[in-house]
Structure 1
Amino acid sequence: MAPKEEWTLHRPRNAPILNPYIDYIEKVLKALEAGLGDKNAQSLTPGELVKKGGERPGDSALQEQYDLNLEQIQGYQDDWHALDDQIGFIASFAAEDANTVSREFEELRDTAVEISSAVPDDPTTARQIDAVNALDNAVGVAYEAILRAYAKLEGKSTEVPAQNWSGSGGAAPYVPGITDTGSAYSNDSPQPIGEGEKAQVQEMYEYLLEKGFTPAQAAGILGNLQVESGFDTGAYNPGEGAIGLAQWLGGRRENLEAFAASNGKSVTDWKTQIDFMVHELKGSESGAMSRLKSTTSAGEAAAVFDQYYERSSGEARGQRIANAESIASSMAGRSTDSSVLA
């Protein structure tokens, strides 16, 4: 790494949405820079980086103070989560290929300085959101370059398999246009649906098509629900208190129960649970919906639904993808629609 030069990110005057993000990314980048000082960074962990970032604005404050809509709020919060994931990966990979990390870090730092410097004082809300998106995209570029280097280091022609991504055994985040779901998670076999469950799977699949999902997206969703609950609407995890097809817990479980009650339905009714899932995707989970709607294959849809809607640890992502592809294949045998496996 070149000798350190003093640098800071510009904070435009009267930019209450943008500046907390700039504060956060600057603290994290400076911590990463310090950890990379000897091109080794073995003592640096993603958790330590995140702790250095400080507080982030909550959804209610963003909506009440800045009159943002739900889609803008979700996108803003998604940028924060993406920053955590991607910076964490960069940190964990630093000890493996410090030269690549150092080079990409320097480019990321310089880009962040340029983006923040280009924002004028008293920027509009839209200009602030655009700058947050630009900073998040810059982190994503560095992350993807390092992910490719990691794959090359591991001697693989595609991206890193789930079991090799980090010390915790979690899956590498799905990267649109880069991650090859057919090979990056190829070690898993689909779980059998089981006698008596096949008809219900087809009903849910057809119901999802009625809701506007493509055949591939419907299969991707169902591949996740198979892992989450085995398609048992009464599935219950006593350790977390999670229930239902998607294993909703906490406030989301309470919202499901309220949704069912308001519609005069049982909370274990499968259509009610699917309706609630769609309700979330059109509202509080609209960020996940926009990503899901951009997918074109069952494996891609399964990976996106896992990462952005289920938000699991990623350890079973390969299973979810295998399940989705199996369901897509099965449904294709019952349909003339060639897009099922698209």
Structure 2
Amino acid sequence: MAPKEDWTLHRPRNAPILNPYVDYTEKVLKALEGGLGDKSAKTLTPAELVKKGEGRPGASELGDKYKLKGDQVEEYQQDWYALDDQIGFIAAHAADDANGVTEEFEELRDSAVEITKNVPDDPTPSRQLDAVNAIDKAVGDAVDKVYVAYAALEGKSAQVPEDWSGGGGGGGGSPYFPGLTDTSGAYSGESAQPIGAGEKADVQAMYQYLIDHYGFTPEQAAGILGNLQVESGFDTGAYNPNEGAIGLAQWLGGRRENLEAFAGGREGGVTSWKNQIDFMMHELNGSESGALGRLRRTSSAGDAAAVFDQYYERSSGEARGQRIANANSIANSMVSA
């Protein structure tokens, strides 16, 4: 892909909240554009593209100097972290055939150019945040399109869901398409992991909490828990030293920092399952709202597990069959409990 000549993102005058985010977005997009051009995207990560968070205003500065409310500060920070995660996904999955996703990248780049161009000089803090959120949404939309493009490139389009079985061919990493992927049969080669002695009460409590406190259906709650079982074995203190990931959902990087800040002042601290579930919902109602919307539209435990994996955990997909099998097992066990 030949880079678009002389493109740049607009920096409005006197926009100290927006402009650092614009600077950072432009750096990662230009680096990704170059990587796609020479098909080296597979080796690119946000950390390699630019220094994470460079020039970002701190929380106290946003609150004290720019008079933002607490939820606005959190939303702004979440947008930074989401940009890292989602651009990293595009870089990794574009590599197999960079030309297959250049259209999606170009649309994302042009959207960012248009969004920033429409911000006037001397914008209010609220107007700056609106632009940050719009850029973040454009990145999220691009990620969704890359999922579809990547599936098509791998020959796993919606017309051949039977090829997405867990029995060979890398099917465990296949994307989930609502209404098209048959999670009841596509991953039937997997067996559920045992919940384990002493953990059943915790699973029951989390299951009930998700239903009673957050309004999930039993199937959706089971889908979430099927994922957490794979991620951590329901161990709130689970730690992956290779990645630095912690907790039920194996949060890492900026998301881990947010978890620690969120739960640090609460009773039970970071290792409380309730605090971790609350943080998960904090993300789902904020930076991960796209995942929540898809999750709430599912009607089976298998579909919920696939959606939660694809859009919230954003794993490699290799263990998706296991996640679905776990979710179905949990759903069945809770009905009979």
TM-score of the two chains, using structure 1 as the length reference: 0.69
> Retained in 2: the 8 A contact 1:288–1:308?
no
For these two proteins, the number of residue pairs brought into alignment is 316
Distance 1:228 1:112 in 2: 34
- Residues 203 and 6 of structure 1: is their aligned pair in 2 closer, same or farther, counting only changes over 3 Å? closer
Q: Deviations over 1:49-94 (max 9, x none)?
A: 2438734334343333333344333332332233223322333344
Residue 66 of structure 2 is aligned to residue 63 of structure 1: no
21-30 vs 134-143, which moves further = 134-143
Residue 325 of structure 2 is aligned to residue 322 of structure 1: yes
> Retained in 1: the 8 A contact 2:42–2:96?
no
Distance 1:106 1:121 in 2: 26
Match of 1:340 in 2: none
Q: Deviations over 1:15-68 (max 9, x none)?
A: 112111110111112222333445x33685124224387343343433333333
Residue 226 of structure 2 is aligned to residue 223 of structure 1: yes
Residue 14 of structure 2 is aligned to residue 14 of structure 1: yes
SS state of the match for residue 56, structure 1?
A: coil
Name the amino acid aligned to 2:155.
Answer: G
28-37 vs 63-72, which moves further = 63-72
> Retained in 2: the 8 A contact 1:202–1:331?
yes
Distance 1:74 1:176 in 2: 31
Name the amino acid aligned to 1:276.
Answer: N
Alpha-carbon shift at residue 218 of structure 1 (Å): 2.9
Match of 1:26 in 2: 26
22-31 vs 309-318, which moves further = 309-318
Alpha-carbon shift at residue 144 of structure 1 (Å): 2.6
Match of 1:149 in 2: 149
Match of 2:192 in 1: 190
Alpha-carbon shift at residue 196 of structure 1 (Å): 6.0
> Retained in 2: the 8 A contact 1:50–1:84?
no
Distance 1:308 1:12 in 2: 33
Distance 2:115 2:215 in 1: 37
Name the amino acid aligned to 1:117.
Answer: K
SS state of the match for residue 226, structure 1?
A: helix
> Retained in 1: the 8 A contact 2:24–2:53?
yes
> Retained in 2: the 8 A contact 1:27–1:52?
no
Distance 2:274 2:310 in 1: 20
Distance 1:114 1:284 in 2: 27
- Residues 15 and 313 of structure 1: is their aligned pair in 2 closer, same or farther, counting only changes over 3 Å? farther
- 1:116-155 matches, cutoff 5 A: 116-155=116-155
> Retained in 1: the 8 A contact 2:228–2:248?
yes
Match of 1:41 in 2: 40
Q: Give percent identity, aligned residues only.
A: 58
> Retained in 1: the 8 A contact 2:285–2:292?
no
Name the amino acid aligned to 2:116.
Answer: S
Structure 1, unaligned runs of 5 or more: 164-169, 335-342
Which structure: larger Rg?
A: 1
236-245 vs 64-73, which moves further = 236-245
Alpha-carbon shift at residue 300 of structure 1 (Å): 5.9
Alpha-carbon shift at residue 103 of structure 1 (Å): 2.8
Q: Deviations over 1:213-238 (max 9, x none)?
A: 422343244334434554467x6659
Name the amino acid aligned to 1:327.
Answer: I
Match of 1:97 in 2: 97
- Residues 328 and 195 of structure 1: is their aligned pair in 2 closer, same or farther, counting only changes over 3 Å? same
Q: Deviations over 1:152-175 (max 9, x none)?
A: 1111025998x9xxxxxx979x89
Name the amino acid aligned to 1:32.
Answer: L
91-100 vs 304-313, which moves further = 304-313
Name the amino acid aligned to 2:154.
Answer: E
- Residues 16 and 300 of structure 1: is their aligned pair in 2 closer, same or farther, counting only changes over 3 Å? farther
183-192 vs 62-71, which moves further = 183-192
SS state of the match for residue 96, structure 1?
A: helix
SS state of the match for residue 96, structure 2?
A: coil
Distance 1:67 1:181 in 2: 49
> Retained in 2: the 8 A contact 1:15–1:128?
yes
Distance 1:180 1:137 in 2: 25
- Residues 71 and 292 of structure 1: is their aligned pair in 2 closer, same or farther, counting only changes over 3 Å? farther
Alpha-carbon shift at residue 135 of structure 1 (Å): 1.3
Residue 88 of structure 2 is aligned to residue 81 of structure 1: no
- 1:170-249 matches, cutoff 5 A: 182=183, 186=187, 188-194=190-196, 197-198=199-200, 201-214=203-216, 215-227=218-230, 230-231=233-234
Distance 2:215 2:193 in 1: 23
Structure 2, unaligned runs of 5 or more: 167-171
- Residues 317 and 236 of structure 1: is their aligned pair in 2 closer, same or farther, counting only changes over 3 Å? same
SS state of the match for residue 9, structure 2?
A: coil
